[in-house]
Amino acid sequence: MSKRTTGGLMAVLAFAGVSLSAGAQDPRMTPKLDNPSKAAVQAIVDSAKAQGVPTDPLLDKVKEGLARGADNAHIVAVVRNLSVELANAQRVLGANASADEIKAGAYALHAGVPAVELGKLKKESGRLRSLANAFTVMADIVSRGVPVGTATNAIRSLVGAGAKDKDINDFQQKVKVDIDQGAPPAAAAETRAKPAPVKPEDRE
Amino acid sequence: MEMIVEELQRPVVLDASFERRVMVRVRRFHAQNRARRGKLARVAASITHHPAWTAAIAASLVAVTTFGIMNGRLRTPAVSGAAIEPTRFVLVAPTAQSVSVVGDFNNWGLGDSALVATSNHGVWSVTAQVPAGVHRYAFVVNGKDWRADPTAPRSPGDDFGMPSSALVVEEGSK
Amino acid sequence: MLGLEGMESSDAELVTGVLGGDVNAYSTLVSRYRDRYARYAVHMLGNREDAEEALQDAFTRAYRSLARCEEPERFGAWLFRILVNRCRTSGARRMRRSQTFVHDEGALLNASEEHPAEQTMWREEIERAVGELSADQREAFLLKYVEDLGYDEMSEITGVGVSALKMRVMRACDRLRVLLKEVHSG
């Protein structure tokens, strides 16, 4: 384990310890991992670190679990599951992927997007394009009921057509509103992803 | 055309000495730079005892700071090196007594780090300095009711039985 | 397997380490990107000697300017921009020195160990045809098809408009078809 990671984990654990003494009036402010859970989390973080998987999301997940009052065993299980998803995301996204893309990719996997689809999109989009936002929106629309195939096709067509993150966010908002108004999720995503007419200067 | 591209995409492997040659240049520059910094430090140490120099340096520091603020957002580097971007969180909750924001960027509210929103006739808002990157967050209403941001993408990592939202902060996006 | 090799630390962690005084961390970044970017430099400049020089120079310039790398997690993309610019100036020097395109002998040597003689000849023809393109067309073609970049990204790197880049790529493709057809029909 590197000094940095050890420091990060110790900070999380120490933080919880400080809260124990400082926040007696609020149960949410008194979270603490027991020693076996600390050891289990540390082993997961060590393993992730050894694979080059970003470890900050794992530490954030511990904090989230503590803040939400989850029991220790549950926190450890969730952190372990996330470490697997981060490793899978990193494997399919390749060495060019940023930590943010891996994190967003892991959450897209969690939502049910197949790993191979993330890899395809990354390969098609080139190394300079960050897909963190695209993966986030993909996960969102899948969680709103858009079938996985429809969601991945929609995002791929948007990214392939050169859509910026702002355009992809607009797409997400429109799909959300359509679904909230009663549209079938698949139809909403398919319709909203249709490309705009080609501008004359692009027809060369 | 595919055959041409396939051929051109074949890897080119450099010999092992390449890395060594680059690092020779890098170490030489590093050594020169360290020597230069040492010299500057010695010069600085010699002038700090001179009142006129001290006053001049203090004046220039004030000028640099003021210039930074006057020319737009003052960015503070995060520990990770990511820029910090001001980000506004808004929740409409007319009957709420209190609203706070917790997420990856503030230790999920542990140790009293939650961001407390203020109400404008039930429209609660707070602006936070959030590092560029992918984050998850939630609103906590009345200290116990966890809510996702209805205007933001959902985060699928609803592992602890309470909803959360996803936030992608781009550098210079706000 | 795409991404696990040599990935003990992220780019951002390594950049932070280097800026904190750990010079050795930079050698990990060099080994991570050297072969990947050597391909672009070799194809762009047409010979291994100039390509290695350009790549060495890009790595050294990146080290000197590392504090200005605003997104350490995207060090690779930032380095690539430096390399593309460096290849432009190097390409200009090479054109002044000689108009003859020299193929990458080292790459051909490697290829001949893995592929039959016809494949090596085909590769040589392609290298020669790519070398016949103008520098602008070659740059646009390599960025688009070999490096898999989108037009917006290419525009960001080169400072050239998307429409002009599309024209360059299209003309490069047309020219390559003609050149390689000539070889096969002749």
B16 has a chain C CB within 8 A of its CB: no
The answer to whether residue B8 sits within a structural domain is no
CB A146 within 8 A of CB B149: no
Torsion sign across C-alpha atoms B106, B107, B113, B114: positive
- The residue-averaged pLDDT of A132-153 equals 95
Residues lower than pLDDT 50 in chain C: 1-7, 93, 95-115, 186
Residue spans of alpha helices (H) in chain B: 2-8, 17-47, 51-70
Number of domains in chain B: 2
Whole-Å CA distances, C69 to A61, B36, C13, C48: 29, 22, 13, 28
Instruction: Flag whether B76 is in a domain.
Output: no
Query: Chain-centre distance of CA B98, in angstroms?
Result: 27
B168 closest CB neighbour out of A57, A61, A132: A132
Q: Identify whether residues B165 and B92 lie together within a single domain.
A: yes
Chains that touch A (3 or more CB pairs under 8 A): B, C
A143 min Cα distance to partner chain B (Å): 7
Which chain C residue is nearest to residue A52, measuring alpha carbons? C8
Determine the pLDDT at residue A12.
Answer: 45
Q: What is residue B32's predicted lDDT score, i.e. its pLDDT?
A: 75
pTM metric for this prediction: 0.52
Distance (Å, whole) CA A87 – CA C129: 42
- Residue from the list B12, B25, B171 with its beta carbon closest to the beta carbon of C70: B171
Residue A107: other Cβ atoms inside 10 A: 29
Whether B18 and C34 lie within 8 Å, measured CB to CB: yes
- Which of A46-55, A86-95, A121-130, A149-158 is predicted with the least confidence, judged by mean pLDDT? A121-130
- Cα distance between residue A160 and residue A134, in whole Å: 11
Task: Quote the pLDDT of residue B55.
Answer: 41
The residue in chain C having the minimum alpha-carbon distance to the alpha carbon of residue A51 is: C8
| Residue-wise pLDDT tens digits, B76-108 | 223 334 566 788 999 999 999 999 999 988 889
Tokens 């010695």 label which residue?
Answer: B42
Instruction: Return the CATH fold of C133-186.
Output: Arc Repressor Mutant, subunit A (1.10.10)
Q: What is the pLDDT of residue A89?
A: 94
For residue range C44-71, list pLDDT tens digits in order: 998 888 888 899 989 998 998 888 888 8
Neighbours of A36 (CB within 10 A): 11
Q: Are residues B31 and B100 in the same domain?
A: no
Q: Give the pLDDT band of residue A26 (cuts 50, 70, 90).
A: very low
Residues B61 and B94 in one domain: no
For residues B89 and B146, membership in a common domain is answered with yes
B18, two tokens: 């390449």
Interface probe, candidates C40, C84, C148, C174, chain A, greatest A C-beta count within 10 A? C148
Give B81's contacts in chain C (Cβ within 8 Å).
12, 15-16, 72-73
Pick the residue of A2, A6, A53, A98 with the most C CBs within 10 A to test the interface with C by mutation: A98
CB contact residues (below 8 A), chain A span 79-98, against chain C: 90-98
Instruction: Give residue B36's pLDDT.
Output: 64
Closest CA to C83 of C50, C132, C118: C50
Half-sphere exposure of A8 (CA within 13 A, CB side): 23
Q: What is the pLDDT of residues B51-82, one digit of tens each?
A: 344 344 333 333 322 222 222 222 222 333 45
Sorted by sequence, the CB contacts under 8 Å of residue A141 that are 6+ apart come out as: A151, A154, A172, A175, A176, A185, A189
Sequence spans of domains, chain A: 1-93, 114-196
Quick one: pLDDT at residue B60? 36
B114 and B49 co-located in one domain: no
Tokens of residue B72, six digits: 């737009």
Do B115 and B143 have their domain in common? yes
- Tell me if B98 is assigned to some domain: yes
Averaged pLDDT for residues A79-93 = 93
- Residue B45 has a pLDDT of 41
What angle is formed at CA A24 by the lines to CA A20 and CA A28, rounded to 5 degrees? 75
From the CA of C58, how many Å to the nearest CA of chain B? 10
**Per-domain residue ranges of chain C:** 7-102, 133-186
ipTM above 0.85, yes or no: no
Nearest by CB: B8 against C26, C70, C126:
C126
- State how beta strands B123-131 and B84-92 pair: antiparallel
Distance of CA B71 to the CA centre of its chain: 19
Q: How many other C-beta atoms are found inside a 10 Å radius of the C-beta of residue C45?
A: 27
Report the pLDDT value the prediction gives residue C12, as an integer from 0 to 100: 86
Amino acid identity for residue A26 in this structure:
D
Q: What is the pLDDT of residues B1-58, one digit of tens each?
A: 778 888 888 888 887 788 888 898 888 887 777 666 655 445 444 333 343 443 443 3
Q: Is C27's CB within 8 Å of B23's CB?
A: yes
Same domain, residue pair B153 and B124: yes
CATH number of the domain where residue B90 is located:
2.60.40.10
- The rounded distance, in Å, linking the Cα atoms of B115 and B89 is 10
Q: Is residue B149 part of a domain?
A: yes
For residues B37 and B64, state if they share a domain.
yes
**Chain B / chain C CB contacts < 8 angstroms:** 92
User: A133, A112 in Cβ contact below 8 A?
Assistant: no
Contact (CB, 8 A) for A66 and A16:
yes
Average pLDDT over residues A130-153: 94
Q: Dmax over Cα atoms in chain A, in whole Å? A: 69
CB contact under 8 A, A128 and C157: yes
The CATH T-level fold of domain C7-102 is Rna Polymerase Sigma Factor; Chain: A (1.10.1740)
pLDDT value at A53 more than 80: yes
Task: Compute the average pLDDT of residues A165-190.
Answer: 94
pLDDT at A1 over 50: no
3-class SS string, chain A: CCHHHHHHHHHHHHHHHHHHHHCCCCHHHCCCCCHHHHHHHHHHHHHHHHCCCCCHHHHHHHHHHHHCCCCHHHHHHHHHHHHHHHHHHHHHHCCCCCHHHHHHHHHHHHHCCCHHHHHHHHHHHCCCCCCHHHHHHHHHHHHCCCCHHHHHHHHHHHHHCCCCHHHHHHHHHHHHHHHHCCCCHHHHHHHHCCCCCCCHHHCC
Same domain, B34 and B91: no
- B9 occurs within a structural domain: no
Specify the pLDDT at position B157.
Answer: 62
Q: Is residue B4 part of a domain?
A: no
Same domain, B60 and B88: no
The first and second tokens of residue A122, run together, are 């990354």
Name the residue range of residue B57's domain.
17-70
Give yes or no: residues B38 and B111 share one domain: no
- Interval A122-145 mean pLDDT: 90
Inter-residue contact B128 to B101 (CB < 8 Å): yes
Phi-psi region of B149 (alpha: psi -120 to 50; beta: other; left: phi over 0): beta
Strand boundaries in chain C, DSSP class E: none
